[in-house]
Each structure stands twice: as C-alpha cells, then as structure tokens.
Structure 1
Amino acid sequence: MFIKLLLIFTLVPIADLALLIEIGRQIGLWPTIAIVLITGVAGSALLRWQGLGTIAKFKRELAEGRFPGNTIIEGIAIIVGGAFLLTPGVMTDAVGILLLLPPTRAVFIAIVKRYIKRKFDIDEFITVADEPPPRDEPLDPNLRIEP
C-alpha cells in the first residue's frame, strides 16, 4: 500500500507538470497560466456551490430521520475534488472538476460503493430500524434478567 501511495504522489505530479509544460510549449506561457487560473476559480465556485448543497442535503436527511450514507460519500467526493483543485496542474484540475459535477460524481460514488461491498463482503451499507425497541423488552428474547 505504501508503494502504491508513493507512486501516486510522485508520478501524478510529474505527469501533471509534463502536461503543463507541453501545453505551455503549444500555446505559450500566459495562456497556460490563464487556463490554470480559470480552472482554479471556476472549480472553487463549483466546490462552494456543490459543498453547500451537500451540507443542506445532509441536514435535511438527518432531520427526516434517515441515515445520509450516500450524502456522506458525496461529501467525501466533493472534498477530494476540492483537494485536486488546490493542486496546481491541468490534469488534477480536470479530475477535481469531474468529482464536483453531479453526473460524474455519481459514477465515482457507484465505483466506491462497489469497492466497499466487494472489500467488506456486504450487501447493504446500513439498516436502521424505524423506531427503537421498547425499553421493557430485551433485545434478546432468550435473555432473562433476574431481580
């Protein structure tokens, strides 16, 4: 796992830098800088908009008594997308913006869910009872409590 992370954190920035250099070579320095700045500003606005919407959805689901499992994964995708946007580079900005757009974020969420289900061999994320059991009834019907 350490080797994979090391490769990701070294190869991705190198590839991003190489792409940035090539774009700069093709269109020039100032247009390249403009692209990086524009994607950063647009991504930040998108991050704010999507983040606030997800927070509102999270609060609404909690108020309705539902577990916000999908919304939590959406929030994680938005945070990861924001982190990619903070990393300078065209490739990471593209990935960040893709994680902030609802249709592509839905694909990411489906992939994460499939991975979690396979990794932990589960069918459902969580099952929540509509209401808690009565206080005078033990959870285990065979359990006897002596006074």
Structure 2
Amino acid sequence: MLPLLILLGILLVPALEIFVIIQVGGAIGAWPTAGLLVAETVLGAWLIRREGRRAYGALHDTVRTGVLRDRELGDAALVMAGGILLLFPGFVTDVLGLLLVLPFTRPFVRRGLSSFAVRRMRAAEERAATVFPPPGAGGAGFDPFGRGRGPERVETPPGPVVRGEVVHEDDDTASRA
C-alpha cells in the first residue's frame, strides 16, 4: 500500500503544483507569481539555514552527551525533509515544507508522524504474530525448528539428517603448501 501511495505522490504532486501555479498566475499575473516563487525559495533557504543550525546543534549536543533524545532526532529529520520540499518550486511543496521547518508547527507534525509510526509497528507486530506465534500461545514460538521447552524438545531439526565428518588439516601440511 505504501509503495502505491509513494508512486501516486510522485505522479500527482507535479501535476498539482502546475495546476496551483496556473491558478495563482491567472489570479495575480505571471510576473508576480514568478516573484512569489522566488521569494518563497529565498525565505525557505533562510529558514532552512536558521532552523537547520538549531536542529544540528541540538542533535550534536545529544550525540556528545550520549543520551539519545527522540525529539532532537525527529526535529533534525523534519527540518531536512522540509528543506528538501522548500527547494522544489511550487506552492504546495512550499506549504508542506514550511509545516516541517517552522518551530511552532513541527511539534504537531512530529506527534502525528509518531502516532502513525506506532500504529504501523503495532500492525506489523500483529502480522508477525500470525506467522510466528509467541511461546505459550499454542504455537511453537519463534524457534524455526518448532522445538518446545521441556521433555518434548527435539535436539535435531525435523527432516533428513546427513551424517558427515569434519577433516582438519594439520598445521604442518598447511604450512608446506
């Protein structure tokens, strides 16, 4: 599902950007629209520089102290993603980029993405539990050979066993070769 959404986003965002630029150009004119796009790019570059330095400093302090704080890591990632969006020409990506870069909107976006990630992790855990049932839930647990605990434990995996012998070369013959 997510790859399909990414593909649709790659295809639809440029079309949406062109549509919005044409609508804005029709409302205020071509030159003011171009000037507005250039002004957004300059403002975006200034914001990226300011907020990027702040996020990088917080991230650097986090790494220096050795305590990983999810807020600083999330802010650095959001500023970087917002900066990339601000560099694309267009009004839609600029609005999304500003939501990620501005310090007063970033906490809302971070919380929303965090809750989305939690829901995705829970769904993945539920899917994994159907494939690999946890121990004690009527399944074999995560042991790929289905070994249980206690006296019913099987020491060799089920299926054909090929007996063999390991031959080690002497150190003397290996050094002569």
Q: TM-score, normalised by structure 2?
A: 0.65
Kindly state the Cα deviation for residue 11 of structure 1 after the two structures are TM-superposed.
1.0
Structure 1 residues without counterparts, runs of 5 or longer: 122-147
2:105 alignment counterpart: 104
Contact kept? 1:62, 1:68, Cα under 8 Å: no
1:11 alignment counterpart: 12
Q: Which has the higher contact order (CA 8 A, sep 6+)?
A: 1
Structure 2 residues without counterparts, runs of 5 or longer: 123-177
1:25 alignment counterpart: 26
Matched, 1:88 2:63: no
Please identify runs of 4+ aligned residues in structure 1 that moved more than 6 A. none
Kindly state the Cα deviation for residue 4 of structure 1 after the two structures are TM-superposed.
1.4
Supply the distance in 2 between the matched residues of 1:34 and 1:19 (Cα, whole angstroms).
15
Which structure's residues are more often helix, by fraction? 1
Q: Figure out how many residues of one structure are paired with residues of the other and give that number.
A: 121
Supply the distance in 2 between the matched residues of 1:16 and 1:112 (Cα, whole angstroms).
24
Kindly state the Cα deviation for residue 68 of structure 1 after the two structures are TM-superposed.
2.9
| 1:17-96 equivalences in 2 (<5 Å) | 17-96=18-97
Q: TM-score, normalised by structure 1?
A: 0.77
Q: Greater Rg, structure 1 or structure 2?
A: 2
Kindly state the Cα deviation for residue 24 of structure 1 after the two structures are TM-superposed.
0.5
Supply the distance in 2 between the matched residues of 1:13 and 1:54 (Cα, whole angstroms).
29
What is the alpha-carbon root mean square deviation over aligned residues? 1.2
